Amino acid sequence: MSALRPLLSALCLLLLAPAGRAQRGAGDRTGVISVDAPVLNFRIPTFNRQNFRSWLLCGAEGRYLNANELAVTNLSLTVFTGDATNGIVYVFLSPAAVARPDDGEVHGPGLLRLVAQEFEATGEDWTYDHREKKISIRKNVRVVFHARLKPLF
């Protein structure tokens, strides 16, 4: 839940802000907070116990599903080395995903593009478990390795 606090705080502030100076009718409800409103262009950084960046979850739109799930449109998830080098290990790009920041999990039924230094992969129906460092892509998988092949002859 701690990873969602900045996002939820921003959501509450946006929902409590006045919507303009339009006149309200007798049937208008004031002071009602809706969790259906999306948070736009958000960023949720996560840090490890040593205070190094672990991942950065970004999206064009985020919708709160429950206490630990966030539906994300145009997901960009950057996974870092978690040390002083602050190097990038993976970048996940997907038009739609569900993130569980407190559990360190992200998944999506649709398209994924995964970029790493050694390879790039695309596919559908994917899951990433950050704690286990496990990536699963179950459909239409295509992997391109960025490695030099030694001559066989």
More confident residue, 144 or 147: 144
Encoded tokens for 85: 């080098």
pTM: 0.73
Q: Above 60 in pLDDT, residue 37?
A: yes
More confident residue, 150 or 29: 150
Element (H, E) at 7: helix 5-16
When pLDDT is cut at 50, 70 and 90, the band that residue 130 belongs to is very high
Q: What count of other Cβ atoms lies within 10 Å of the Cβ of residue 130? A: 20
Question: Which pLDDT does position 33 carry in this prediction?
Answer: 52
Q: What is the mean pLDDT of residues 127-142?
A: 95
Rounded to whole angstroms, the maximal C-alpha distance in the chain is 84
Question: Which pLDDT does position 102 carry in this prediction?
Answer: 87
Q: What is the pLDDT of residues 49-63, one digit of tens each?
A: 999 999 999 999 999
Q: Domain boundaries in the chain?
A: 5-15+33-145
Q: Which of 150, 143, 142 is nearest to 119 (CA)?
A: 143
Q: Above 80 in pLDDT, residue 13?
A: no
More confident residue, 123 or 32: 123
Query: Which SS3 state, helix, strand or coil, does residue 46 take?
Result: strand
Which CATH superfamily includes the segment(s) 5-15+33-145? Lipopolysaccharide (LPS) transport protein A like domain (2.60.450.10)
Q: Which of 145, 143, 127 is nearest to 135 (CA)?
A: 127
Pairing of strands 134-145, 53-66: unpaired
Beta bridge partner(s), residue 152:
none
